[in-house]
């Protein structure tokens, strides 16, 4: 049954659609032209890496990619029309970049602004909630920078590119803080059995507690705590 199906299958239509075999050479030529156009376009735009791109620049790159992709294999899309799209996108990029350099207000409107996420070893809760960033994802970013607890951090900033800039306390000034190692926030406490430093699992506020009821966090009013860490950063 399968062999009969394979024998009756129109392999040409499966592999080429409605095009002829000769169109493969045209695809190669189209791809080479658009590949060169992409290189020239990116050279004009600059040398910033993908991780350094702002939202505006990422939109420009996606636009160039879309304009370049279709004419590579779609016979109905002419190369000249795609090159015109390239020119318009680059022209718009140049104009917008000019106004970004002239106006800070316009720059913030187009590219956004950097936001402080951690200050003095605890979360800036209002700023953190504005960002579409999960705590697990954020903790993973910090661990990649050698952070094991928030008391090591003086300030952490999310840049407009999405990267996290972290400024650390020197070892002698490291404080007790919220541990961020995997599973460290499991089994939070609502009552304190052993006195010591404890951190709020929600905002990272840290304080010394005696045995008894944990009480609500004075910063965020949550009531779940974990044992704090004063571990130094591993460099």
Distance between CA 195 and CA 211 in Å, rounded?
Answer: 5
> Which are the contacts of 225, defined by CB distance < 8 A and separation ≥ 6?
188, 189, 190, 192, 198, 199, 200, 201, 209, 214, 217
Distance between CA 198 and CA 196 in Å, rounded?
Answer: 7
Nearest residue to 96 (alpha-carbon basis) of 111, 84, 112, 113: 111
Portion of the chain with pLDDT greater than 70, in percent: 83
Residues in the chain: 235
> What is the predicted pLDDT for the residue at 46?
60
Number of C-beta neighbours around residue 153 at 10 A: 26
Given a contact cutoff of 8 angstroms between Cβ atoms, the answer to whether 142 and 171 are in contact is no
Q: What is the pLDDT of residues 80-125, one digit of tens each?
A: 877 888 888 888 888 888 888 888 888 777 777 888 999 999 998 8
Q: What is the pLDDT of residues 134-166, one digit of tens each?
A: 778 889 989 999 999 999 999 999 887 778 899
3-state secondary structure of 90: helix
- Both tokens assigned to 51: 């991780």
Sign of the alpha-carbon dihedral angle for 6, 7, 9, 11: positive
């Amino acid at each position: 049954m399968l062999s009969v199906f394979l024998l009756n299958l129109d392999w040409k239509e499966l592999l080429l659609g409605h095009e002829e075999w000769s169109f493969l050479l045209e695809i190669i030529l189209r791809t080479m032209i658009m590949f060169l156009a992409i290189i020239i376009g990116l050279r004009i735009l600059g040398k910033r890496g993908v991780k350094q791109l702002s939202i505006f620049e990422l939109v420009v790159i996606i636009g160039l990619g879309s304009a370049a992709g279709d004419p590579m294999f779609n016979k109905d899309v002419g190369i000249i029309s795609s090159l015109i799209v390239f020119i318009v996108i680059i022209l718009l990029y140049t104009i917008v970049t000019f106004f970004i350099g002239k106006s800070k207000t316009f720059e913030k409107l187009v590219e956004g602004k950097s936001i402080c996420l951690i200050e003095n070893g605890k979360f800036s809760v209002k700023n953190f909630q504005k960002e579409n960033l999960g705590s697990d994802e954020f903790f993973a970013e910090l661990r990649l920078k050698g952070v094991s607890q928030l008391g090591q951090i003086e300030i952490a900033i999310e840049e407009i590119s999405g990267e996290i800039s972290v400024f650390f306390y020197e070892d002698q000034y490291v404080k007790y803080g919220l541990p961020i190692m995997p599973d460290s926030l499991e089994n939070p406490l609502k009552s304190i059995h052993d006195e010591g430093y404890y951190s709020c699992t929600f905002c990272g506020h840290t304080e010394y507690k005696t045995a008894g009821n944990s009480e609500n966090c004075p910063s965020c009013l949550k009531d779940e705590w974990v044992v704090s860490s004063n571990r130094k950063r591993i460099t």
